[in-house]
Amino acid sequence: MITPDDLVALIRNYNPTCDEALIRRAWNYGAAMHDGQLRHSGAPYFTHPVAVASLLTEMRLDDATIITALLHDTIEDTKSTYAEVETLFGHEVAELVDGVTKLTNLQLSSSEAKQAENFRKLLMAMSRDLRVILVKLADRLHNMRTIKSMRPDKQAQKARETMEIYAPLAGRMGMQWMREELEDLAFKVLNPEARNSILRRFITLQRESGDVISRITADMRLELDKAGLDGTVYGRAKKPYSIWRKMQEKNLTFSRLSDIYGFRVIVDDVAQCYAVLGQIHQRWRAVPGRFKDYISQPKNNGYRSIHTTVSGRDGKRVEVQIRTREMHEVAEAGVAAHWAYRDGTRAANPFAVDPAKWVATLTERLDSAEDHDEFLEHVKLEMYSDQVFCFTPKGDVIQLPRGATPLDFAYAIHTRIGNATVSAKVDGLRVPLWTRLRNGQSVEIITAEGQRPQASWIELVHTGRAKSAIRRSLREEDRERFIRLGRELSRVSFEGMGRRLTDKALTTAARALALKDADDLLARIGSAEISARAVVAQLYPELATLPEGEVDAERPVVGLEPDQRFRRANCCQPVPGERIVGITYRGKGVLAHAIDCEVLASLESQPDRWIDLHWLDGKHPPVHAVSLQLTIPNSAGVLGRVCTLIGENQANISDLHFLDRKPDYFRIFVELDVSDAQHLHRILTILSAENDIAEAIRVRDPKRQP
């Protein structure tokens, strides 16, 4: 354990004006409070707070944060009180220690409802002072470094919590080095065989090809010297967990994985960053699609750097990051840069993110969330990727979308296993099949001979692969029953349209719908995957628009919850017959966007807001507003003719105004109400065919408020 003198010396290296007396007093007070307490390893307990404080000195943090690290367990684990800490060390330190104590008491890997409430407390503590979470992250890092002394079940629990909560949080705060180490330490606990396998392969690779890092580093330095560029080059092998995750994401073996080495070039200014980039791309071939400029477009956690991947020696791919020294300090410290000291003064770093704004991105939905699930969904997506990685009992990793269940896991392994699933164990405990899986969990699927998928499973799974396999199995199991039902439904639908059902008609429809044969078509009709009316429409398009009852204009789509409100988005104005997707908007309910709407591109990072919608079959009333732009000659009677044509085709004009008036022509905006895409197409065709109308086009405006 380092002494008070050692700790003060570490702090004075970057902050010569530190309050040495207060730091020594905190060290002595913490040692006295924890006197006689031992860690699981048998070492004096106070070695832990001192190690946490030492970690924070590496980030050059202020005196209050270092003192908080020394005292962070005193209120919880000793006879010390908030009032005593406040009296001895001031209100700021007391508040920080109290905040860390509250975080320590949160069980972040507990049940969903409790987890949501604890997340609220975590974010509220962070919003008051981000230094609380910096101390907690350092506390977790030291605990993970010394985790071997804990019971195996406790190790697994802490490792999962680290992988699921603290590592993503560190990354979201810009502290990438800490995220990588936390992930790797958790990986070492959760899947030691996989980690050791990667380390062994690294040793083998180094024995076969020599020290690749030093050779490529020397090559890069030579290229910089040739160009007269002054920069520092660092090279390293990527962390085992980072490599493992990439192997799973790309479904590659270690031997086929290329960019397992990373290099950084640190220069003095931004201009040199781009000069280095040019020199590297001249010397080595750039890999297409692997270039990112985070200098011109920084990440939302303040990270700035240029990333590129090139083919280096022997065709090996290497990732290169190019940044200035200031950018490098921010990349290493992240949000911690706001409390960092240099030569006794706070480091004013122009590239670091404002902590208040950063926390706002996590807490903006804190008050608006109506229930636990909504809150968790919104907040977690701010920190996590869209995927979870779970382990089989043999240590293989299965990659699934967030929200996946053990049934998804089973079908991801093999359809046969999914179909035969009767139950599942997660981390050794039997769980319901609807349980949502989390990062780092080990899943064991229990199967039984003769088991078949249940119809209710469709609602339990999240992946398209699982849904498709379940439907296929259900269809095969009840195929004869569905065929009989499908034939009866088809007969009724054909007779309702004044046509007779024949085998030839069914075979023709099956071929048109790319199905195997008539029985396959009937089975799908019987299982409600295809409507009998759609088959009639395929064979007799002229009958497809015959009325079968008008669709309710207030709720013309399938896919909404009973209490969800629905509107069409103004930006793209989708109409029945066009493919749509629903997007939830706070205070506006669900808005339907056309599948090709430009606005959707900006929402790709928010998958929790997307809802699968489609229009109801049937006759839709002409109430769906669409916008047209017409160019007509400046002649008497032309505008009247336009209005007559629209009226004759059962469409109502709800708005009309002039966009441009010229001596020889007018451009006008017309908003009219149509029933569906076919109705709109008919009107546009008729208008375009009119001699007095030079142009008739539909207008969609992505800038228009949704």
**Active site (catalytic) residues:** 76-77
Closest CA to 27 of 54, 59, 62: 54
Place of tokens 């300090």: 329
Closest CA to 649 of 667, 628, 622, 669: 622
Closest CA to 283 of 212, 219, 190: 219
Q: Give the 3-state DSSP-derived string for 437-493, with helices as H, strands as E and coil as C.
A: CCCCCEEEEEECCCCCCCHHHHHCCCCHHHHHHHHHHHHHHCHHHHHHHHHHHHHHH
Contact 351, 330 (CB under 8 A): yes
Q: Give the 3-state DSSP-derived string for 43-110, with helices as H, strands as E and coil as C.
A: CECCHHHHHHHHHHHHCCCCHHHHHHHHHCCHHHHCCCCHHHHHHHHCHHHHHHHHHHHHHHCCCCCC
Question: How many angstroms separate the CA atoms of 495 and 599, rounded?
Answer: 44
- Which 8-state DSSP code applies to residue 550? B
Task: For the beta carbon of residue 379, count every other beta carbon within 10 angstroms.
Answer: 21
Handedness of CA 564, 565, 566, 567 (dihedral sign): negative
* Three-state DSSP state, 368: coil
Contact 68, 91 (CB under 8 A): no
What backbone torsions phi and psi does residue 506 show, to the nearest 5 degrees?
-65, -40
- Which 8-state DSSP code applies to residue 243? H
Contact 696, 630 (CB under 8 A): yes
Contact 470, 463 (CB under 8 A): no
CA 650 to chain centroid, in Å, comes to 46
Contact 182, 239 (CB under 8 A): no
Distances (CA, A) of 691 to 46, 326, 499, 686, 695: 90, 66, 40, 10, 10
Amino acid at 611: I
Amino acid at 303: Y
Amino acid at 181: E
Contact 175, 336 (CB under 8 A): yes
CA 325 to chain centroid, in Å, comes to 30
Contact 700, 571 (CB under 8 A): yes
Task: For the beta carbon of residue 386, count every other beta carbon within 10 angstroms.
Answer: 11
Question: How many angstroms separate the CA atoms of 270 and 455, rounded?
Answer: 60
